[in-house]
Amino acid sequence: MLFSSIPFLYYFLPIVIGLYFIVPFKFKNLILLVTSLFFYFYGEPVYVILMLVSSFSSYVHGLLIDKYRGTKWAKVLLVSSVVTSLAMLGFFKYSDFFIENVNSIFKTDIALLGIALPIGISFYTFQTLSYTIDVYRGDAKVQRSFIRLATYVLLFPQLIAGPIVRYTTVEEDLTERKHTLENFASGATRFVIGLGKKVLIADVFYEFCDAFRASDDKSVVFYWLYALAFSLHIYFDFSGYSDMAIGLGRIFGFRFLENFDYPYISKSVAEFWRRWHMSLGTWFRDYVYIPLGGNRVPKLRWLFNTLVVWLLTGLWHGAAWTFVIWGLYFALFLVLEKFVLNKFFERIPRVFSHIYVIVAVMISFVVFNAADLAEAVSDIGGMFGALDIPLWSKETAYYLSAYGLLFAVSMIGATPIVKNTVLKLKETKVVGTVINVLEPVTVAVILLLVTACFVNGSFSPFLYFRF
């Protein structure tokens, strides 16, 4: 079931909210668990079992780790938990990728398993891993209620596309959370804004990218427009989903951490990754990078740690060499920045470092979205004039005129300009009153426009479902 769909927005969600606020608090987690299972069952009935097995495994391992705390068995049980979770992720996500590469290297003919990728498995696997690791470290208290732990893992707002919610973030909320009209209103507003970003901006850029792929009249400028369009598409798609998840969480009394912080205003690749998909970046930092030694190690060891983290980051996004190259691409820039580029950018105007980040990120997303390495090389070649195509074409002019306003609006929307302006204006009493009146009207208009798109039958996939 998609958030951006009539069944979710006008049937599932109102029923869940109604049931949730009718029952006493002691049953609220159960309502969320049952409805979350239905939410997932609606799209992938078979893999509900896999999610329950993953949740039960982390629950049992957590109890046993706590029971044998301070003994060697606690570490054995932690290893067992990690291996179990990663084995399930590896089997369902990477089996065919492994077989394909074995066949390619050793000229064998092993049949592919053809396993469908369970939606959201990368997200909920990382959540169960963080739970057992935090229990072992003593950073989280063991959860003795399976319903509460399963509610944390399977909570439908963040189940299928994140953000990656740590157990420690919602530990208290699972047992005691406040429900207020203010939280409900702010959560609903955040949800609708995220829905608008997804449907009214990201989905339109998705159509642009499809039109580019179908075009027989490409040009160098058209390739660059495609790179820009996809970069904006993936930002508004994923940040829009995160807004919806955070908003829904707030409606139900949960406080999820932010997942995006205007990454396109960054002036270094390192800063970009502190602002982009922050829940994933901090997860790898806390559970992989720091345990490997972080940056408090000799340079060669730091290089190794960096390569490992970004290799895993690439693979986390998908079982394909394009994702591996994408991850290592960012590792290369982080190394260059640490030893060379940062000193250089300190001596030049900041606008140049900002342009550098935008171009580097755009190229990375061209690789990210390519069907294979050959297409990635071809696309980058088209951007830099290596193909036998003109600089400009009539079709390029057509699409630029058709989507020009959207490009301009979305580029502004990808910065904090609008948010900061509104907050500044709210400080003025009269203008602030007007904004407070217009805000719910604007939200209602966005909801109407989104609904019109649904009724019109617009295709609205979530890119991050593939992970």
Question: How is the chain split into domains, by residue range?
Answer: 6-177, 183-455
Marked catalytic residue, from 61, 233, 277, 317: 317
Residue 456 has pLDDT above 90, yes or no: no
Q: How far apart are CA 17 and CA 12, in angstroms?
A: 9
pLDDT band for position 174 (cuts 50, 70, 90): very high
pLDDT band for position 348 (cuts 50, 70, 90): confident
Per 3-state DSSP, what percentage of the chain is helix, strand, and coil (rounded to 5)? 75, 0, 25
Residue 406 has pLDDT above 70, yes or no: yes
Task: Give the torsion sign (CA, 35, 173, 179, 276).
Answer: negative
**What whole-number percentage of the chain has pLDDT above 90?**
87
List, for residues 136-173, the tens digit of each pLDDT value.
999 999 999 999 999 999 999 998 887 999 999 999 99
pLDDT at 373: 96
pLDDT at 464: 55
Residue 85 contacts residue 129 (beta carbons within 8 Å): yes
Mean confidence (pLDDT) of the chain: 94
317 is catalytic: yes
Q: How far apart are CA 173 and CA 184, in angstroms?
A: 15
List, for residues 297-307, the tens digit of each pLDDT value.
999 999 999 99
Instruction: Tell me the chain's radius of gyration from C-alpha atoms.
Output: 23
- Find the mean pLDDT for residues 92-109: 95
pLDDT at 467: 54
pLDDT band for position 2 (cuts 50, 70, 90): confident
